[in-house]
Amino acid sequence: MRAWSFSLVLSISLASAATFPDPEQGFSNSSILKIRSNLLEIASASWELGTAAEALLELSWPGLSVFNATAFPPPGRLKATAFPTDVVNIANRTVSQRPSGSLSLIANQGSAADPASLGVSVLLANWTRKQISNHDYSEAATDELTYLLEIAPQSDEGAISHRANEVQLWSDFTYMVPPFLAYFGALKGGLPGRNLLQIAYDQCRLYRDALRDDSGLWRHITLGSFEDKTHWATGNGWAAAGMMRVLSTMNHTSDARRFADHQANLTKWIDEILTESWSHQRPDGGLFNVIDDPKSFMDTSSTALIASVTYRMAVFRNDTSLIPAANRALKLVKNNVDGDGWLQNTVNPITFRDPLPTTEHSPEGQAFLLLLQAAWHSFFIHANSRGL
């Protein structure tokens, strides 16, 4: 499936890691450093690296993430202590190892969508580059955009395929592609930028139209040579988290008012996933791997991702109605991180249907822990400032 990989050896230090308050709920700094180090040790596939880059950005350089009003435009020059080193390192390796002639950021993935998850880190690296004459990042990001809009297969309705060799729609796509399109548009500005923001929204809409059913949840895979009609928890998490990033990107651009109706729809679509997901929450705080199937197993990975979106949405809407569910989930997830910083009791991200063996670890699960900590921290600050 998503076969390309390279090893990451990145330095982790207290200086580069964000410092968080450590009351009863959030992870301690020592736990976060272990989780982060483990993620960078095992992330290798394109979507793992893209998710890792995003998680590192939100965790340690939140002022540069789309959840901050300072996101657009990013500073052209950053002090060394404010430079997103780990994120740019991932972008550097991606661009430097891209084969000649490949439009996709990473070639021969099988997935048309997964390499785009690295697009935001590449665009950020371009924006903050020290050598103005270096156009490698810009060319790589533009080539990825060209591939998605002009080369990748599309459904009859215009949904860009998640797969490269056939038209097949996966809920995962919503996290991989629309946030990149929206970020590209926000940086570009003007009519071309607004067009990209519109495309990002349209892709979310088209995927929702194809995958959502009457339950309010999304099925995992439709069209193509096989389908997965279950309400896979991680897939619903990917969808909600991807739309959350598109929503925040739109909200923090100068064109936010032009996209007011789009933002209202995205808010509704995220809410319906969160509300329905938590309606099936187990007493211990976890979610089932198939959200509405009690016969499936509890999965900490999706529980962490959906909790992270819940905290983000609480800040966006100033609404704490789902926070008790997120807090129970956070407690459950914390209890499933071992002393070495590994998340236990996760789904196998390749098979979707099986628990991951105890001797193996989920890179995306590790990234979801960082996304959860970053989102919880944002909510913690917001709640204190508003007296919630």
CATH number of the CATH domain containing 115: 1.50.10.10
pLDDT at 287: 98
Residue 3 lies in a domain: no
pLDDT for the residue 319: 94
Q: What is the pLDDT of residue 388?
A: 63
- Which range marks the domain in which residue 181 is found? 29-386
The reply to whether 144 falls in a domain is yes
Token pair for 150: 């002009």
pLDDT at 18: 37
Q: Name the stretches of the chain with pLDDT < 70.
A: 1-24, 387-388
Do the domain assignments include residue 344? yes
Domain total of the chain: 1
Q: Specify if 295 maps to a domain.
A: yes
pLDDT of residue 167: 98
Residue 9 lies in a domain: no
pLDDT confidence of residue 82? 87
Report the pLDDT value the prediction gives residue 31, as an integer from 0 to 100. Answer: 96
Collapsing DSSP states into helix, strand and coil, what is residue 290? Answer: strand
With CA atoms as reference, report the closest residue to 332 among 319, 345, 347, 348: 345
Task: With residue 57 as reference, give the H or E element that holds it.
Answer: helix 46-60
Does some domain include residue 174? yes
pLDDT at 387 (0 to 100): 65
Q: Of 187, 178, 185, nearest to 72 (Cα)?
A: 187
In angstroms, the CA 18 to CA 358 distance is 29
Q: Which pLDDT score is estimated for 16?
A: 34
